[in-house]
Amino acid sequence: MIFLRSDAPDFPQRFQALLEQARATTADVAGAVTSIIAEVRAGGDAALCAATARFDRLQLTPERLRISEAEVDAAVARVPAPLMDALDVAARRIEVFHRAQLPADLEMTDAEGLRMGMRWTALSSVGLYVPGGKAAYPSSVLMNAVPARVAGVARIAMCVPTPGGVLNPLVLAAARRAGVCEIYRVGGAQAVAALAWGTESIAPVDRIVGPGNAYVAEAKRQVFGRVGIDAIAGPSEVVVLADAAQDPRRVAIDLLAQSEHDEAAQGILISTDAAFAERVAQAVAAEIPTLARAAIAGASWERHGAVIVVPDWDEAAALVDRLAPEHLEIMTADPQAIFAKVHHAGAAFLGASCPEALGDYVAGPNHVLPTGRTARFASGLSVFDFLKRTTWLAGDDAALRNIGPAAMALAEAEGLQAHGRSIGIRLERNASA
């Protein structure tokens, strides 16, 4: 963990080093992923089964790629009722928030008489990747699948690795609750390849969403263009702005809620009070040994954690914009006033009673957010990721006469003769009629 003061002479250099800190994996997997994708494209189901045996220690035949409804039934039956109730609470709240985002079609007629508009339509099919590594994330199933269903996507196919053949009941229960149509027991780059290109058993999709390891991220990068993708997800991160009136232990736990994701995650505290910041750092050190994932959280905090002391909240907001964090918590007397000065954050959590973890599960806004400072130009997952826009024009002869000559002049200037003629021939016909 590093401790920075913005009034220190070396602060600009040390803060820049923090911004440039490499937290994503440095492993070069591009070549391996290219080979896996090529194998699946050429070999279909057989290659997919072979890759699953190699990477997930699971022998499959094409008939067993898809998880059957009976298997899902059995898995759901093993989920305790209180957990099913919690899934339902989360799913309902996510659906309400995302349904409120649905846009209306646009239609207008301008002064020249040309009618024009924009129509929204849902994607036909979406592939959802669910990781099966250090933790299972049924909440991510809901956050990815529910907005797709709300948008009107007809087919939602899910791939989830099952190392050793072990199915996670809560993940399958979440998939059913969210309206997932098909579930396949495959993961890794091979699953992304199957969703993008299709095999005998898995039809290709139009967009792939969901996080994964370095191989999954690289596979999504390589298939982009063949299909759409949501983003290349990086390690999780949170910036907490807290004043001296807060409980140091509460702030510490919020920082560790990100650190426990993985060793590359990051928690940063920004405060105007140096003594309070020191108490938070001490509370973090005391809390780490009590966590089940203490080794992961400890490594994350030691390698990537930071405490920054600033003179005022204006400077804090400026630093937040440079960090452009995935998550921003503002625990101060007037969080709204500070948030108004922040331009770049994936999601904000305002007030001492609104921890980021609330947004991870049941609040309603999506927890799939831009990481690695990409909040400077990217946004969290929403229904818009599962919709596309089509613009349209409709005009009569009068409208063509009003604006056609300007289009012809521009076409001539660009040397595109047929473009101009396609308008001119209509104007000539109209003039002779």
Task: Using the 3D structure, point to which of 346, 377, 408 is the last residue of a domain.
Answer: 377
Q: Quote the pLDDT of residue 213.
A: 87
Given a cut of 70, the residues of the chain with pLDDT beneath it are 24-27, 133-135, 433
Q: Quote the pLDDT of residue 5.
A: 97
Is 71 an annotated catalytic residue?
A: no
State the total domains in the chain: 3
Residue numbers of the domain that contains 400? 396-432
Active-site position among 263, 287, 326, 356: 326
Work out the number of other CB atoms within 10 angstroms of the CB of residue 82. Answer: 8
Residue pLDDT, tens place only, 380-427 = 999 999 999 999 999 999 999 999 999 999 999 999 999 999 999 999
Q: Which residue has the tokens 């809901």?
A: 142
Does 363 lie in the same domain as 252? yes
Q: Quote the pLDDT of residue 135.
A: 59
Does 35 lie in the same domain as 158? yes
Q: Identify whether 10 is part of a domain.
A: no
Does 118 lie in the same domain as 62? yes
Does 409 lie in the same domain as 357? no
Does 87 lie in the same domain as 58? yes
Q: Identify whether 3 is part of a domain.
A: no
Q: Quote the pLDDT of residue 25.
A: 55
Question: What 8-state DSSP symbol labels residue 164?
Answer: G
Strand order, beta sheet including 155-159: 182-184, 155-159, 125-129, 207-209, 228-229
Does 253 lie in the same domain as 219? no
CA angle 104, 107, 111 (to 5 degrees): 145
Does 273 lie in the same domain as 336? yes
Does 184 lie in the same domain as 282? no
Q: Quote the pLDDT of residue 234.
A: 87
CATH assignment at residue 327? 3.40.50.1980
Q: Which residues pair with 307 in a beta bridge?
A: 3, 269
Q: Identify whether 288 is part of a domain.
A: yes
Q: Identify whether 183 is part of a domain.
A: yes
Does 246 lie in the same domain as 319? yes
Task: Using the 3D structure, point to which of 170, 194, 229 is the last residue of a domain.
Answer: 229
Farthest CA pair distance, the chain: 88
Give 3-state DSSP helix, strand, coil % of the chain, rounded to 5.
50, 15, 35
Q: Quote the pLDDT of residue 429.
A: 81
Does 268 lie in the same domain as 201? no
Q: Quote the pLDDT of residue 387.
A: 98
Active-site position among 98, 261, 304, 327: 327
CA distance linking residue 270 with residue 282, whole number of Å: 15
Nearest to 384 by CA among 180, 103, 140: 103
Task: Using the 3D structure, point to which of 229, 251, 273 is the last residue of a domain.
Answer: 229
Q: Quote the pLDDT of residue 433.
A: 62
Does 337 lie in the same domain as 222? no
CB burial class (10 A; 0-12, 13-18, 19+) of residue 303? middle
Does 162 lie in the same domain as 277? no
Residue pLDDT, tens place only, 46-76 = 999 999 999 999 999 999 999 999 999 999 9
Q: Identify whether 383 is part of a domain.
A: no
Q: Identify whether 14 is part of a domain.
A: no
Q: Identify whether 415 is part of a domain.
A: yes
Q: Identify whether 6 is part of a domain.
A: no
CA distance linking residue 263 with residue 303, whole number of Å: 8
Is 261 an annotated catalytic residue?
A: no
